[in-house]
């Protein structure tokens, strides 16, 4: 349960950390952790590269989606009914 707070408190900067830790412990398959690391790096590089007050800027939306998706998936790691990535 505490792992769910990591992406939220870090504002998605550490979204991949719970999945890497779970992959090291053998709770999830390594491809899931790698997917989160790649997605997080891609979003953070995009967010850094795009700047300004352009209304077509999708940076904030991508960061919020990463935060919500990673927190939700982290909360579902303890669920036995979820089998994807385990």
pLDDT digits (tens, 9 = 90+) for 21-64: 888 988 888 998 899 899 888 888 887 777 666 656 677 788 88
Q: What pTM, to 2 d.p., does this model score?
A: 0.75
Nearest by Cα to 7 from 62, 76, 68, 77: 68
Confidence class for position 18, pLDDT limits 50, 70, 90: confident
Q: Using CA atoms, how far apart are residues 58 and 33, in angstroms rounded to an integer? A: 24
Confidence class for position 66, pLDDT limits 50, 70, 90: confident
pLDDT at 81: 56
Nearest by Cα to 32 from 62, 76, 81, 63: 76
């Amino acid at each position: 349960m505490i792992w769910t707070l990591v992406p939220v408190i870090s504002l998605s900067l550490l979204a991949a950390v719970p999945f890497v830790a779970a992959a090291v412990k053998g709770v999830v398959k390594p491809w899931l952790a790698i997917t989160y690391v790649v997605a997080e790096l891609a979003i953070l590089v995009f967010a850094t590269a795009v700047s300004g007050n352009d209304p077509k800027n999708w940076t904030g939306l991508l960061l919020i989606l990463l935060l919500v998706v990673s927190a939700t998936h982290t909360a579902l790691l303890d669920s036995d009914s979820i089998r994807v990535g385990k």
